[in-house]
Homo-oligomer: A and B are copies of this chain.
Amino acid sequence: MATLFHVPLSPFCRKVRLSLAEKRIECELIEERYWEKDSDFLRRNPAAKVPVLKIDGRTLSESAAICEYLEEVYPEVSLMPSAPEARYEVRRIVGWFDDKFHSEVTANLVYERVNKKVMGQGYPDSKNVKAGAKAIKFHLDYMTWLLEQRRWLAGNEMTLADFAAAAHLSSLDYISDVDWNRSETVKDWYAKIKSRPAFRSILADQVSGFPPPPHYADLDF
């Protein structure tokens, strides 16, 4: 059985958890207080980040590299199309969320509001929170624009791009930072992805001191 060292609201961990669950790879989850830089953990990943996945006798880090590995070694349930142009578009959108969306939105909201408190790093910086709340609007509009042309974010099939995006949005939804009224299109997309069995473990997450709002786990939100 695989083991994933993670923190519940990390979008990078959630993307890997969704990939594992969709591919029906059984995995034990272990919460890792990675910011304490425990020496056992540093040995598993000198980058001192989560996720870290133990699988097939190996210890893997970097969520993008992990997801590509899972795709190559466990291709039965595929999260990547086969044409290079379509694969490019999946990777572009994964990069969009894990880089641009992360720095403009997730870091400004989830990290300010939750991680800082959990890590004992003080109070949210309201300048950052404000910037995040403003930036998410642009991103929801960009998603709407994409989803008006395609059934899923990177094309007409569900792919890793949808999981990457849903990983970020679900973490933000846990702290009520997504305005689902902004776009019916994005809400419909999230409803589809939220109802997948792979999403169940994420909807059951609980962060001590931060109870999720009732709509978080509700499929009819």
Contacts and interface: CB of A to CB of B under 8 A. Distances in A.
Nearest to A85: B58
A69 B87 contact: yes
Contact of A62 (B46, B47, B73, B96): B96
- The A contact surface, by secondary structure, is helix
Interface band, chain A: 20 to 34
A95 interface: yes
Interface centre among A61, A72, A92 (most CB of B within 10 A): A92
A91 B64 contact: yes
A60 interface: yes
B92 A61 contact: yes
Nearest to A98: B99
Nearest to A67: B91
